[in-house]
Amino acid sequence: MGAMLVTPMEIPGALVIVPDVFTDDRGFFKETYSRERYREVGVLGEFVQDNLSISAVGTLRGLHADARMAKLVQVFAGEAFDVIVDARPESHAYGRWQGVMLRATEHTQLYIPAGCLHGFLAMTDGTTLSYKQTALYDPSAEFGVIWNDPALAIAWPLQDQSPLVSPKDRLLPSFDKLRTTRV
Protein backbone atom coordinates (compact mmCIF):
# COMPACT_ATOMS: atom_id res chain seq x y z
CA MET A 1 0.00 0.00 0.00
CA GLY A 2 1.14 3.54 -0.72
CA ALA A 3 0.98 6.58 1.49
CA MET A 4 -2.38 8.01 2.45
CA LEU A 5 -2.76 11.79 2.49
CA VAL A 6 -3.13 13.21 6.02
CA THR A 7 -3.79 16.90 6.69
CA PRO A 8 -3.88 18.25 10.27
CA MET A 9 -6.70 20.70 10.98
CA GLU A 10 -6.55 23.86 13.11
CA ILE A 11 -8.39 22.01 15.88
CA PRO A 12 -5.65 20.09 17.74
CA GLY A 13 -5.71 16.36 16.99
CA ALA A 14 -8.29 16.64 14.19
CA LEU A 15 -7.21 15.18 10.85
CA VAL A 16 -8.49 15.05 7.28
CA ILE A 17 -7.43 11.72 5.78
CA VAL A 18 -7.62 10.49 2.20
CA PRO A 19 -6.77 6.78 2.09
CA ASP A 20 -5.16 5.11 -0.89
CA VAL A 21 -7.71 4.20 -3.54
CA PHE A 22 -6.92 1.65 -6.23
CA THR A 23 -9.14 1.93 -9.30
CA ASP A 24 -9.48 -0.30 -12.37
CA ASP A 25 -12.20 -1.42 -14.78
CA ARG A 26 -13.99 -3.32 -12.01
CA GLY A 27 -14.32 -0.32 -9.71
CA PHE A 28 -12.10 0.54 -6.76
CA PHE A 29 -10.56 -0.85 -3.60
CA LYS A 30 -9.61 1.13 -0.51
CA GLU A 31 -8.56 0.24 2.99
CA THR A 32 -10.93 2.26 5.19
CA TYR A 33 -9.01 1.59 8.41
CA SER A 34 -5.91 -0.25 9.58
CA ARG A 35 -4.99 0.18 13.24
CA GLU A 36 -1.21 0.35 12.79
CA ARG A 37 -1.24 2.61 9.72
CA TYR A 38 -3.74 5.00 11.26
CA ARG A 39 -1.98 5.03 14.63
CA GLU A 40 1.21 6.14 12.83
CA VAL A 41 -0.56 9.27 11.53
CA GLY A 42 -2.21 10.20 14.86
CA VAL A 43 -5.50 8.28 14.96
CA LEU A 44 -5.27 7.05 18.53
CA GLY A 45 -7.38 4.79 20.69
CA GLU A 46 -9.13 1.52 19.99
CA PHE A 47 -12.37 1.64 18.05
CA VAL A 48 -15.08 -0.35 19.81
CA GLN A 49 -18.27 0.54 17.93
CA ASP A 50 -19.19 1.25 14.30
CA ASN A 51 -22.30 3.20 13.27
CA LEU A 52 -24.03 3.94 9.99
CA SER A 53 -26.63 6.60 9.23
CA ILE A 54 -28.54 7.23 6.03
CA SER A 55 -30.00 10.70 5.70
CA ALA A 56 -32.28 12.61 3.36
CA VAL A 57 -30.96 15.80 1.79
CA GLY A 58 -31.18 18.68 4.28
CA THR A 59 -30.93 16.47 7.38
CA LEU A 60 -28.73 18.00 10.06
CA ARG A 61 -27.49 15.71 12.83
CA GLY A 62 -25.67 17.13 15.85
CA LEU A 63 -23.85 18.78 17.41
CA HIS A 64 -22.96 15.89 19.77
CA ALA A 65 -19.92 14.88 21.80
CA ASP A 66 -18.69 12.53 24.48
CA ALA A 67 -15.48 13.41 26.35
CA ARG A 68 -14.41 9.74 26.15
CA MET A 69 -15.04 9.24 22.45
CA ALA A 70 -12.96 9.95 19.34
CA LYS A 71 -14.52 9.23 15.93
CA LEU A 72 -13.36 8.36 12.43
CA VAL A 73 -16.05 9.55 9.99
CA GLN A 74 -16.50 8.93 6.27
CA VAL A 75 -19.25 9.11 3.67
CA PHE A 76 -19.90 5.95 1.65
CA ALA A 77 -22.67 7.43 -0.54
CA GLY A 78 -23.53 11.04 -1.31
CA GLU A 79 -21.95 13.97 0.47
CA ALA A 80 -22.12 15.74 3.80
CA PHE A 81 -20.84 18.99 5.24
CA ASP A 82 -19.18 17.73 8.43
CA VAL A 83 -18.42 20.04 11.36
CA ILE A 84 -16.15 19.78 14.40
CA VAL A 85 -16.36 22.22 17.33
CA ASP A 86 -13.59 22.11 19.91
CA ALA A 87 -15.40 21.69 23.25
CA ARG A 88 -12.28 20.84 25.29
CA PRO A 89 -11.84 23.67 27.83
CA GLU A 90 -8.07 23.11 27.98
CA SER A 91 -7.63 23.46 24.20
CA HIS A 92 -6.33 26.68 22.65
CA ALA A 93 -9.00 26.16 19.95
CA TYR A 94 -11.86 25.94 22.48
CA GLY A 95 -15.08 27.21 20.92
CA ARG A 96 -13.76 27.22 17.34
CA TRP A 97 -15.33 25.20 14.55
CA GLN A 98 -14.13 23.76 11.26
CA GLY A 99 -16.14 22.25 8.45
CA VAL A 100 -15.14 19.77 5.78
CA MET A 101 -17.14 18.57 2.79
CA LEU A 102 -17.04 14.77 2.79
CA ARG A 103 -17.88 13.21 -0.57
CA ALA A 104 -18.07 9.50 -1.27
CA THR A 105 -16.40 10.11 -4.63
CA GLU A 106 -13.38 11.73 -2.92
CA HIS A 107 -13.00 9.06 -0.18
CA THR A 108 -12.20 11.70 2.47
CA GLN A 109 -12.27 10.74 6.15
CA LEU A 110 -12.35 12.96 9.22
CA TYR A 111 -10.76 12.07 12.55
CA ILE A 112 -12.50 13.85 15.43
CA PRO A 113 -10.66 13.89 18.78
CA ALA A 114 -12.46 12.96 21.99
CA GLY A 115 -14.35 15.86 23.53
CA CYS A 116 -15.04 17.68 20.26
CA LEU A 117 -18.60 18.29 19.14
CA HIS A 118 -19.58 16.72 15.82
CA GLY A 119 -22.43 17.29 13.42
CA PHE A 120 -23.18 17.06 9.73
CA LEU A 121 -25.58 18.29 7.08
CA ALA A 122 -26.60 15.78 4.38
CA MET A 123 -26.11 17.47 1.01
CA THR A 124 -27.70 14.66 -1.06
CA ASP A 125 -30.53 12.17 -0.62
CA GLY A 126 -29.28 8.87 0.72
CA THR A 127 -26.14 10.34 2.28
CA THR A 128 -24.58 7.34 3.99
CA LEU A 129 -22.22 8.27 6.80
CA SER A 130 -20.14 5.73 8.69
CA TYR A 131 -18.25 6.39 11.87
CA LYS A 132 -16.06 4.39 14.17
CA GLN A 133 -16.03 5.27 17.90
CA THR A 134 -13.46 4.71 20.63
CA ALA A 135 -16.17 4.34 23.31
CA LEU A 136 -19.51 2.58 23.42
CA TYR A 137 -22.50 4.89 23.14
CA ASP A 138 -23.69 5.97 26.58
CA PRO A 139 -26.49 8.56 26.65
CA SER A 140 -25.41 9.70 30.13
CA ALA A 141 -21.94 10.66 28.79
CA GLU A 142 -23.23 12.51 25.72
CA PHE A 143 -23.52 16.29 25.59
CA GLY A 144 -24.40 18.63 22.79
CA VAL A 145 -24.92 22.15 21.47
CA ILE A 146 -27.67 23.54 19.25
CA TRP A 147 -26.65 23.48 15.57
CA ASN A 148 -27.48 27.16 14.90
CA ASP A 149 -25.91 28.77 17.97
CA PRO A 150 -25.14 32.39 16.95
CA ALA A 151 -22.05 32.40 19.21
CA LEU A 152 -20.50 29.62 17.10
CA ALA A 153 -21.76 31.09 13.80
CA ILE A 154 -21.24 27.86 11.85
CA ALA A 155 -21.57 28.56 8.11
CA TRP A 156 -23.82 25.61 7.27
CA PRO A 157 -24.31 25.48 3.47
CA LEU A 158 -28.10 25.65 3.64
CA GLN A 159 -29.98 26.53 0.44
CA ASP A 160 -32.69 28.83 1.89
CA GLN A 161 -34.36 25.98 3.70
CA SER A 162 -34.59 24.89 7.29
CA PRO A 163 -32.72 21.66 7.94
CA LEU A 164 -34.43 18.51 9.15
CA VAL A 165 -33.41 18.33 12.81
CA SER A 166 -34.50 15.74 15.38
CA PRO A 167 -36.71 16.90 18.27
CA LYS A 168 -33.86 15.97 20.67
CA ASP A 169 -31.32 18.08 18.77
CA ARG A 170 -33.71 21.08 18.64
CA LEU A 171 -33.55 21.20 22.46
CA LEU A 172 -29.75 21.25 22.79
CA PRO A 173 -28.28 24.21 24.73
CA SER A 174 -26.11 27.03 23.44
CA PHE A 175 -22.33 26.76 23.61
CA ASP A 176 -22.25 29.39 26.36
CA LYS A 177 -24.73 27.32 28.40
CA LEU A 178 -22.57 24.23 27.82
CA ARG A 179 -19.51 26.22 28.95
CA THR A 180 -21.14 27.10 32.26
CA THR A 181 -22.37 23.57 32.95
CA ARG A 182 -19.13 21.73 32.04
CA VAL A 183 -16.48 23.92 33.74
What is the predicted pLDDT for the residue at 181? 65
Residue 153 identity (one-letter amino acid)? A
Q: What is the DSSP string of the chain?
A: --PPEEEE-SSTT-EEEE--EEEETTEEEE----HHHHHHTT--S---EEEEEEE-TTBEEEEEEETT--EEEEEEESEEEEEEEE--TTSTTTT-EEEEEEEGGGT-EEEE-TTEEEEEEE-STTEEEEEEESS---TTTEEE--TT-TTT-------SS--B--HHHHTPPPHHHHHHHH-
Q: Of all residues in the chain, what percent carry a pLDDT higher than 90? A: 83
Q: Could you give the residue numbers annotated as active site? A: 64, 131
When comparing pLDDT for 114 and 179, which is higher? 114
pLDDT in tens, 114-163: 999 999 999 999 999 999 999 999 999 999 999 999 999 999 999 777 89
Cβ-proximal residues to 125 (8 Å cutoff; 6+ apart), any chain: 56, 57, 78
Q: What is the pLDDT of residue 182?
A: 55
- Name the residue type at position 171: L
pTM assigned to the model:
0.92
pLDDT of residue 108: 95
**pLDDT at position 45 over 80:** yes
pLDDT number for residue 152: 96
In whole numbers, what is the pLDDT of the chain averaged over residues?
A: 93
**Please, what are the domains in the chain?**
5-182 (2.60.120.10)
